Amino acid sequence: MKSYDVVILGAGPAGLAAAITSNDNGSKTLVIERENKPGGILKQCIHDGFGIVKFGQRLSGPEYAYKFIEEAEEKNVEMKFSSFVTEIKKSDEKFELKLVNSGGMEKIETKSIVLATGCRERTAKQIFIHGSRPAGVYAAGTVQYFTNIMGYLPGEKCVILGSGDIGLIMARRLTLEGTKVLGVYEAKPEPSGLKRNLAQCLEDYSIPLYLSHTITKVFGDERVNAVEVSKVDKNMQPIKGTEKIIKCDTVMLSVGLIPENEVAESLGLRMDPSTKGPLVDQDLMSVNVSGVFSCGNSLHVNDLVDYVSESGEIAGLGAARYSLRKETRLITFNKGKNLLYLVPQRINVKSENKKVIFYFRVKATMKNVEFVVKLGNHKILKTRYLYLSPPEMKRIIFDLPSDLTDDSELGFEAYEGER
Amino acid sequence: MKLKKIESLLRRKVSKNIVCSEFHSSIVLEGEVEKWDEVIRAGKLAANKGYKGVVNKIKVKGLEIPKMKLPSIRDGTLEGKKFDVLIIGGGIIGSSIAREISKWDVSIALVDKEEDVGTHTSSRNDGVVHPGIAPPSGSKKTFYNVRGNKMYTRISKELDIEFSRKGSLVLYNNNFLKIIKPLIRSRAKKNGVEIYFLDVEQAKEIEPNITDEIKGAFFLPSAGVLSPYKATIAYAENAAQNGVNFFLETAAESMEVKNGKIIFVSTNRGKIYPKVVINAAGNFADEAANMAGDQCFTIHPRKGEEVILDKKKGWLLNSIVSKLTINRHSNTKGGGLIKTVDGNILIGPNAYEQPYKEDYTTTPNGIGEVLNKHLYTIKGLNKADVITYFAGTRAATYEEDFIVEKSEYIENLIYAAGIQSPGITSAPAIAVDVEKMAVEILRNYMSIRKKNNWNPKREGIPLVNSLPYEERKRLIAQNPDYGVIICRCEEISNGEVIDAIHSPIPARSLDSIKRRVRAGMGRCQGGFCTPLIMKIIHEESGISMLKISKKGGKSYILREETKNSLRRVKAKEKLGKR
Ligand SMILES: Cc1cc2nc3c(=O)[nH]c(=O)nc-3n(C[C@H](O)[C@H](O)[C@H](O)COP(=O)(O)OP(=O)(O)OC[C@H]3O[C@@H](n4cnc5c(N)ncnc54)[C@H](O)[C@@H]3O)c2cc1C
Ligand SMILES: Cc1cc2nc3c(=O)[nH]c(=O)nc-3n(C[C@H](O)[C@H](O)[C@H](O)COP(=O)(O)OP(=O)(O)OC[C@H]3O[C@@H](n4cnc5c(N)ncnc54)[C@H](O)[C@@H]3O)c2cc1C
């Protein structure tokens, strides 16, 4: 049985960054990717805007990915493609993985694992769309694959449900290809995509955005021929009498992403219900199954790939240093009432990693926000944000106080105005 | 009851506009009413009152019921073809009949109007092999149910169908079971069904995660579960291997009858000349009977909606769990939770009358009803576990029993009609009886004998992901395609998809691949694998990417190539000028 220090699942931006870091730190590293080449979802993201934070450049998805692929290849990081992990078992100090590919079945063992498995899209059924079941209803990522990788368009007249970023980007992409995009319908009162995408993908192309609206029914036998849209109330329930029929042949859904954590769940990792990713400490290691690290979109859904790579680096470093890791002493903290989530969710006071990067989102749009970190009653950090909204993930970095102990009371808070 | 008496009953209880008459020993209802519910009530009141069947032609004012959907092709490929046996309908009933008759050295054709077998009711149900306690003693339903249930032990082996017989647990939460316990016990005895009464603790040994709000349960060990569409396909494939000709996208549209005998059946692909016709047309069996001028029953489609949960939660359930509902007038078993052979939990169905035979739209109310009724019977389930839902229609007659018999009026017509639930369970037993009837009729026209090379065995596509490690390794060494995973949620390989495309009844559409190998049936619902599977279909069968469909007909997935829109605009302009 082949044996590794670090095995990474997924060769998207998170997995590649983790692999390079773990390799640089002297660990025997293997990347396992189920698709036939590296790059993850970036392969199909041919628009620009990747790498602004990390490289100060507006790269396309494949260009961004290539920087990491090239580096990993130069450094001879071992990667297996078209390979699928079917089972992972933890035994004593090791993990045993079974994987399958066209060469057959193989067992390998490793000291630590990095999960960089990305995310999948929510489906029409998960948001309880009803009506008949014709062809023509697709997730935006699927349409992106059809269009950008395969060179096919799904239809002529498209209605988009949900204002997630992939939907917005595809609204523009389809428009450029001559598909008529009739509108984007969003059930929430606020759009869920980034401001920059709303401006560059909808406004610039005069594509209307209807907030507090949803699709209540799909029509068509063989292929979609219309949808019924309705206004919704505060509780997202359709309002009777506001129904409108719109003729179209395609419905594209951009209603959210879900971290892919089937492997994590099979290992029994405790999950955070608000991120749908594992609970981790500042090295991005699972709080209850030691030796398993998580990063990228499988940890929590990111809106910028730059932070995906960053989290890959943290997890890769954590995994490389795993065998040197001393004790673990986790402390939890209060995240206040306005934060939707905060990653990591725990601090290991014994970790050598004292420079902690937190990622967070707020529950609702807030203006003129003071964000504080407290140790007991002391404010150990204070920053201001003019504007915070759920679609924009924020990142904050700070040095842990050297006197942090198991019973330190760490707390976070975000509020409008000053206190 | 006399005709006039029934008529006045209907006029009094339902509507003054109803007129009754008699045809082929059946009672015919005509007239116009306000609501569909009245149509159903009239039919039910007239049923089982001394006539063979109820032919309900009552119309609802202003309600237009769409005609049966027909295939779009029209050609003459079958014109003038002669077969000894013609089976109309490729659901589990038609397919199992085809397989049993294929033992005989006769020529057999099966037509179905869809692009695959098993696309209607046979793929839209619970897949429960019922024990046979629900239908009334002495009915055909009970007879075939109990026999069919037993036969699945052998049939599942012969046809390589996954079948799990883990029993069914029926929970009750009140004390009036004391009163009806003897009734249930005697029904079980009469129907020949094994039954055990359990206390709460014993019930929890079988299903540890059931709700605490129960007083006891009974357990029916003979209940089982299978995949109904895989079973239909298995029967059809074995029939095809034994020489049955499957003509898909082929609809029986009318019949020529002379002197009480069907001479030919017209289809969209030409006239077929059969010696014997078997009507296994599911929800359209009454219309097919009418084509022969022999309509002696009416199908009223009773809809049911079902929900599927993520496999992740599959471990919470081992078998089949339901709650006892006592309603003498109910024609369904009230639904429950089922652990499918693929490891998901399926919940449902509900049951309601509505006029449409092939309208499979789901409704927020229906799905909500199913979830609210059953979800919390098992602790740990919740709405976020739903991955998909669907609907089906039961082909119920007003007599609420199966019709498995030779026609009284047409000498070469056999019925396997009105096969509502438990039709999946009953199929093996119905099929062998219909085989006997067909042989009897054929003997009037020809001498026939059994084939000596009939092969009862069919081998399915390997379930690669559930093979033991070494076996899987060996299989991949023989065929590396079995090692390339295409559908990540269900862990289905390239090799399995290719097998489905080249199977005895070749899969061409995404849905037909789904039914054979599950690719696209998992939690992402094909989000990732749809493009990959399309590519495989294209490469293996040469169908252009633009002609690959979701479910046959014009349900195409894609419209055109990129960088092509100018051509489309120009083409439209041209059309406009003309
Ligand atoms: C359809 C889609 C479109 C997007 N578009 C944009 C965009 O336009 N702009 C933007 O900034 N962000 C976009 N995002 C967000 C984007 O996903 C992230 O920015 C980033 O690509 C996430 O990187 P990752 O490495 O975490 O995941 P991914 O890029 O998804 O990579 C995960 C990799 O892991 C592999 N994998 C998963 N499980 C296993 C396993 N068990 N075994 C082996 N391999 C496995 C997968 O095949 C995949 O290659 C999009 C996301 C999706 C889903
Ligand atoms: C919600 C629900 C749950 C159920 N649960 C169970 C269960 O758990 N256990 C059980 O045993 N049973 C169950 N049943 C019942 C079972 O599904 C049916 O009894 C069975 O599938 C009927 O099979 P069939 O072959 O008669 O009909 P179908 O599968 O409907 O087949 C009829 C076929 O005939 C074709 N056809 C019709 N007219 C024509 C024509 N003119 N020309 C050509 N082709 C034609 C149609 O295309 C169709 O494919 C359930 C049913 C429903 C609706």
Q: Kindly list the catalytic residues of B.
A: 130
C-alpha of B397 from chain center:
16
Q: Which residue has the tokens 């079948």?
A: B163
Last residue of a domain, one of B375, B396, B417: B396
User: Is B334 in the same domain as B446?
Assistant: no
B574 confidence band (pLDDT: 50, 70, 90): confident
d(CA A342, CA A267): 23
Beta bridge partners of B258: B261
Taking the centre of ligand 1 as the mean of its atom positions, its distance from the CA of residue B483, in whole angstroms, is: 23
| Cβ of residue B224 lying under 6 Å from some atom of ligand 2 | no
**Residues of chain A with C-beta less than 8 angstroms from the C-beta of B526:** 142
Q: What is the CATH number of the domain that holds B214?
A: 3.30.9.10
Please tell me the total count of domains within chain B.
4
**Residues of chain B with C-beta less than 8 angstroms from the C-beta of A262:** 312
CB B557 within 8 Å of CB B543: no
What average pLDDT does chain B have? 94
Last residue of a domain, one of B416, B431, B460: B460
| Cβ of residue B269 lying under 6 Å from some atom of ligand 2 | no
**Residues of chain B with C-beta less than 8 angstroms from the C-beta of A232:** none
For chain B, the first-to-last Cα distance in angstroms comes to 66
Q: What is the CATH number of the domain that holds B508?
A: 1.10.10
d(CA A51, CA A56): 6
- Provide the residue range defining the domain that includes B13: 2-60
Taking CA–CA distances from A82, the nearest residue in chain B reads: B484
Rg for chain A, CA atoms, rounded: 22
User: Is B524 in the same domain as B408?
Assistant: no
Q: What was the pLDDT predicted at B176?
A: 65
Is B570 within a domain? no
User: Is B416 in the same domain as B480?
Assistant: no
- pTM metric for this prediction: 0.93
d(CA A372, CA B351): 56
Q: Which two tokens stand for residue A334?
A: 């209060």
To the nearest whole Å, the CA of B576 is away from the closest chain A CA by 17
Residues of chain B above pLDDT 90, percent: 89
Q: With residue A19 as reference, give the H or E element that holds it.
A: helix A13-24
CB pairs under 8 A between A and B: 141
B 441-500 residues with CB < 8 A to A: 465, 469, 472-473, 476-477, 480-481, 483-485, 488, 491
Q: What is the CATH number of the domain that holds B39?
A: 3.30.1340.30
Taking CA–CA distances from B383, the nearest residue in chain A reads: A126
Residue B331 has pLDDT above 80, yes or no: no
Taking CA–CA distances from B529, the nearest residue in chain A reads: A142
Q: What was the pLDDT predicted at B566?
A: 66
User: Is B91 in the same domain as B235?
Assistant: yes
Q: What was the pLDDT predicted at A125?
A: 80
d(CA A163, CA A160): 8
Q: What was the pLDDT predicted at B153?
A: 98
Taking the centre of ligand 2 as the mean of its atom positions, its distance from the CA of residue B393, in whole angstroms, is: 8
d(CA B548, CA B354): 33
Give backbone dihedrals phi and psi of A350, rounded to 5 degrees, phi first: -90, -5
Question: Which residues in A5-26 are b (16+ Cβ under 10 Å) and which e?
Answer: bbbbbbbbbbbbbbbbbbbbee
CB A339 within 8 Å of CB A361: yes
Q: Is B83 on the interface with A (CB under 8 A)?
A: no
From residue A178, how far is each of A138, A152, A153, A155, B576 by CA, in Å? 18, 12, 9, 10, 18
Is B242 within a domain? yes
Residues B8, B10, B16, B19: is their CA dihedral positive or negative? Answer: negative
Among A131, A147, A178, beta carbon nearest to B565: A178
Which atom, in ligand 1's list, is nearest to the CA of A14? 25
Last residue of a domain, one of B347, B372, B396: B396
> How large is the angle between the packed helices B510-517 and B228-241, nearest 10 degrees?
100
CB B511 within 8 Å of CB B518: no
User: Is B333 in the same domain as B480?
Assistant: no
CB B279 within 8 Å of CB B417: yes
From residue B559, how far is each of A135, A220, B65, B506, B548 by CA, in Å? 11, 16, 31, 24, 10
CB A390 within 8 Å of CB A341: no
Q: Give residue ranges with CB within 6 A of ligand 1.
A: A 9-15, 32-35, 40-42, 45, 47, 50, 84-85, 116-119, 121, 141, 144, 165-166, 169, 257, 260, 263, 296-298, 302, 304-305, 308
User: Is B246 in the same domain as B384?
Assistant: no
DSSP A63-128: HHHHHHHHHHHHTT-EEE-S-EEEEEEEETTEEEEEEEETTEEEEEEEEEEEE---EEE--TTTTT
To the nearest whole Å, the CA of A386 is away from the closest chain B CA by 35
Q: What was the pLDDT predicted at A322?
A: 94
What DSSP character marks residue B262? E
Q: What was the pLDDT predicted at B333?
A: 56
Query: What letter represents residue A419's amino acid?
Result: R
User: Is B310 in the same domain as B209?
Assistant: yes
For a ligand 2 pocket test, name from B122, B151, B295 the mutation site with the most ligand atoms within 8 angstroms of its C-beta: B122
> How large is the angle between the packed helices B510-517 and B494-501, nearest 10 degrees?
110
d(CA A68, CA A316): 14
Q: What is the CATH number of the domain that holds B428?
A: 3.50.50.60
Judged by phi (left if over 0) then psi (alpha if -120 to 50, else beta), residue B364 lies in: alpha
The predicted model gives B147-166 an average pLDDT of: 97
Q: What was the pLDDT predicted at B148?
A: 98
CB B122 within 8 Å of CB B232: yes
Among B362, B527, B558, beta carbon nearest to A130: B362
Is B87 within a domain? yes
Taking the centre of ligand 2 as the mean of its atom positions, its distance from the CA of residue A409, in whole angstroms, is: 64
Is B277 within a domain? yes
d(CA A252, CA A180): 12
User: Is B149 in the same domain as B260?
Assistant: yes
Q: Are B563 and A132 in contact (CB < 8 Å)?
A: no
B 21-80 residues with CB < 8 A to A: 69
Give backbone dihedrals phi and psi of B239, rounded to 5 degrees, phi first: -60, -45
d(CA B418, CA B133): 19
Among A84, A124, A155, beta carbon nearest to B559: A155
| Cβ of residue B125 lying under 6 Å from some atom of ligand 2 | yes
Q: Is A376 exposed, middle or buried (0-12, 13-18, 19+ CB in 10 A)?
A: exposed
Query: What letter represents residue B411's amino acid?
Result: E
Among B384, B481, B561, beta carbon nearest to A152: B561
Among B387, B473, B555, beta carbon nearest to A105: B473
Atom 10, ligand 2: which residue's CA is nearest? B422
Is B172 within a domain? yes
Is B559 within a domain? no
**Residues of chain B with C-beta less than 8 angstroms from the C-beta of A152:** 545-546, 558-562
Q: Are B525 and A125 in contact (CB < 8 Å)?
A: yes
Q: Is B271 exposed, middle or buried (0-12, 13-18, 19+ CB in 10 A)?
A: middle
User: Is B304 in the same domain as B292?
Assistant: no
User: Is B425 in the same domain as B406?
Assistant: yes
Q: What was the pLDDT predicted at B1?
A: 67
Is B442 within a domain? yes
CB A260 within 8 Å of CB A165: no
From residue B288, how far is each of A294, A329, B419, B532 by CA, in Å? 60, 74, 14, 40
CA dihedral B90, B262, B24, B97 (to 10 degrees): -30
Q: Is B365 on the interface with A (CB under 8 A)?
A: no
Residue B455 CB contacts under 8 Å (≥ 6 apart), including other chains: B238, B241, B242
Q: Which two tokens stand for residue A41?
A: 């979802």
Question: Per-residue pLDDT tens for A62-100?
Answer: 999 999 999 999 999 999 999 999 999 998 889 999 999
Which atom, in ligand 2's list, is nearest to the CA of B267? 42
**Residues of chain A with C-beta less than 8 angstroms from the C-beta of B550:** 134-135, 222
User: Is B342 in the same domain as B200?
Assistant: yes
Q: Are B484 and A102 in contact (CB < 8 Å)?
A: yes
Beta bridge partners of B336: B348
Among A130, A151, A178, beta carbon nearest to B364: A130
To the nearest whole Å, the CA of A151 is away from the closest chain B CA by 5
Taking CA–CA distances from A119, the nearest residue in chain B reads: B524
What length does chain B have?
578
Taking the centre of ligand 2 as the mean of its atom positions, its distance from the CA of residue A359, in whole angstroms, is: 53
Q: Is B560 on the interface with A (CB under 8 A)?
A: yes
Q: Is B557 on the interface with A (CB under 8 A)?
A: yes
pLDDT in 10s for each residue of chain A, 419 residues: 999 999 999 999 999 999 999 999 999 999 999 999 999 999 999 999 999 999 999 999 999 999 999 999 999 999 999 999 999 999 888 999 999 999 999 999 999 999 999 999 998 887 778 888 899 999 999 999 999 999 999 999 999 999 999 999 999 999 999 999 999 999 999 999 999 999 999 999 999 999 999 999 999 989 999 999 999 999 989 999 999 999 999 999 999 999 999 999 999 999 999 999 999 999 999 999 999 999 999 999 998 999 999 999 999 999 999 988 878 899 999 998 999 999 999 999 999 899 999 999 999 999 999 999 998 888 989 999 999 999 899 999 989 888 888 888 999 999 998 87
Q: Which two tokens stand for residue B62?
A: 């202003």
Question: Per-residue pLDDT tens for B229-270?
Answer: 999 999 999 999 999 999 999 999 999 999 999 999 999 999
The predicted model gives B534-555 an average pLDDT of: 96
Is B68 within a domain? no
Q: What was the pLDDT predicted at B203?
A: 95
Which atom, in ligand 1's list, is nearest to the CA of A257? 53
User: Is B501 in the same domain as B537?
Assistant: yes
Q: Which two tokens stand for residue B183?
A: 């009734």
Which atom, in ligand 2's list, is nearest to the CA of B416? 26
Q: Which two tokens stand for residue A309?
A: 């790579």
